[in-house]
């Protein structure tokens, strides 16, 4: 059952927020959707799924990225889920990088997180089914995200190359098995077996990818990002892409940091990148 909790006209389209009871996460989940002008049952539009970073909700991208005008022009919907399950019964930690707001887009296997923290299943399976059932969209999907969400977008696309036409990321955690953020999250959600962690690591997944499963990928990174050296380490993914001849376009942008000022500057470029493939070009 979908509960509409807000609806605002913007760029001649509509931004709406909804709550629903999710089976994958066993709790109420919130997501936001932007529907461009003209979207209707007789004119269904493709969808870009956006995954946000640590501490974020569905609201950060929708309020700060400045994506609506370009998305309206290109005729694409944008769906932004929350970054984790939430609620009084959902386990949490007094930490910004683990627990609520930090689901890392994995399926947790460790107690007490295994009951609710199945964000991978939610993003890959449950949410798209819900969106395609209740809104005027096609089954054609692209995926993007920022930081932890950049990890999620690239990882999910690499694991499901037939489900998405393209993937992009801003400041992604590309090698979480070797990132302090990733090590903390994967230990808590998945246990100590690093072989299990590898299934959610973009570098490992790209290394294993078959050429028939390659899909176009764009990554943008600011060289003034405080997390660049310790947490993000984009050169690791760049090196794997070169080894595999994977179609990754990587752009280092001078002077930009980890914030939504960076995202808002280059979001139009990312939307245009996805539009090309969402239109089947």
Q: 258 catalytic, yes or no?
A: yes
Asked if 118 contacts 103 with a C-beta cutoff of 8 angstroms, the reply is no
Catalytic-role residue among 118, 146, 151, 258: 258
DSSP state of 123: I
- CA-only gyration radius of the chain, Å: 17
Instruction: Give 57-74 pLDDT, tens digit per residue.
Output: 999 999 999 999 999 999
A 10 A CB-CB count for 193 gives 11
Contacts of 129 (CB under 8 A, 6+ apart): none
Q: 163 catalytic, yes or no?
A: no
Sequential DSSP letters for 226-280: TTIIIII-HHHHHHHHHHHT--EEEEEETT--SSHHHHHHHHHHHHHHHHHHHTT
- Per residue of the chain (281 residues), what is the pLDDT tens digit? 899 999 999 999 999 999 999 999 999 999 999 999 999 999 999 999 999 999 999 999 999 999 999 999 999 999 999 999 999 999 999 999 999 999 999 999 999 999 999 999 999 999 999 999 999 999 999 999 999 999 999 999 999 999 999 999 999 999 999 999 999 999 999 999 999 999 999 999 999 999 999 999 999 999 999 999 999 999 999 999 999 999 999 999 999 999 999 999 999 999 999 999 999 86
Q: 225 catalytic, yes or no?
A: yes
Sign of the Cα torsion 42, 279, 134, 132 reads positive
How close are the terminal C-alpha atoms of the chain, in Å? 36
Sign of the Cα torsion 32, 34, 38, 39 reads negative
Model confidence pTM above 0.95:
yes
At residue 92, the 3 state secondary structure works out as coil
Structural domain boundaries of the chain? 3-280
Structure tokens belonging to residue 59: 């609201």
Fold of the domain spanning 3-280: Rossmann fold (3.40.50)
Residue indicated by tokens 């609506």: 68
C-alpha angle with apex 50: 82 to 265, nearest 5 degrees? 120
Residues in the chain: 281
A 10 A CB-CB count for 257 gives 16
Q: What is the pLDDT of residue 1?
A: 85
Catalytic-role residue among 225, 270, 274, 275: 225
Catalytic-role residue among 147, 179, 202, 220: 147
Q: What is the pLDDT of residue 116?
A: 98
């Amino acid at each position: 059952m979908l509960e509409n909790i807000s609806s605002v006209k913007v760029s001649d389209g509509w931004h709406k927020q909804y709550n629903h009871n999710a089976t994958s996460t066993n709790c109420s989940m919130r997501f936001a959707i932007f529907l461009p002008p003209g979207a209707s049952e007789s004119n269904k539009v493709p969808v870009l799924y956006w995954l946000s970073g640590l501490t974020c909700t569905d609201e950060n991208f929708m309020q700060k990225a400045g994506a609506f005008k370009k998305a309206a022009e290109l005729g694409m919907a944008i769906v932004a889920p929350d970054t984790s399950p939430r609620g009084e019964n959902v386990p949490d930690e007094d930490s910004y990088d683990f627990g609520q707001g930090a689901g890392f887009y994995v399926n947790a296997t460790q107690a007490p997180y295994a009951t609710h923290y199945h964000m991978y299943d939610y993003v890959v399976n449950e949410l798209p089914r819900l969106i395609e059932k209740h809104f005027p969209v096609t089954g054609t999907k692209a995926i993007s995200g920022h930081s932890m969400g950049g990890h999620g977008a690239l990882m999910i696309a690499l694991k499901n190359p037939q489900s998405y036409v393209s993937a992009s990321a801003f400041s992604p955690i590309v090698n979480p098995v070797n990132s302090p953020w990733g090590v903390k999250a994967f230990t808590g959600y998945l246990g100590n077996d690093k072989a299990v962690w590898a299934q959610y690591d973009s570098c490992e997944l790209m290394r294993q990818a078959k050429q028939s499963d390659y899909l176009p990928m764009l990554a943008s990174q600011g060289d003034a990002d405080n997390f660049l050296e310790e947490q993000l380490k984009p050169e690791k993914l760049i090196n794997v892409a070169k080894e595999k001849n994977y179609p990754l376009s990587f752009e280092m942008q001078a002077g930009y940091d980890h914030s939504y000022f960076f995202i808002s500057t280059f979001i139009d470029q990312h939307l245009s990148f996805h539009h090309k493939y969402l239109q089947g070009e």
